[in-house]
Amino acid sequence: MDHLRYSGLPLEEQRAAFLAIVSADPLLCDAVARARTLDLPDWLVVSGALYNSIWNHLTGKPSGYGIKDVDLFYFDDSDLSY
């Protein structure tokens, strides 16, 4: 197992590897597809789902292993009240 195979690469190569891993992960693809249907402004999938998906890929674990939820953040400036 070579879980450090991307360390030391230039930033753009690490970024490309990250995007390739994320876009090939079925759980994250489903989460992004569902998020798009919500029509939320300025949304992002964040946190553990990304970290764990990358770690699962690097260590040979299946998609979704150890992931209990997917966090979706968004910013809606149409209502800035408390």
State which H helix or E strand residue 58 sits in.
Answer: helix 48-59
Report pLDDT digits (tens) over 45-65.
988 899 999 999 999 999 999
Split at pLDDT 50, 70, 90, the class of 4 is: confident
Phi, psi (5° rounding) for residue 34?
Answer: -65, -40
Residue 1: per-residue pLDDT: 61
- Mean pLDDT along residues 11-30: 94
- Mean pLDDT along residues 34-50: 92
Chain mean pLDDT for the chain: 91
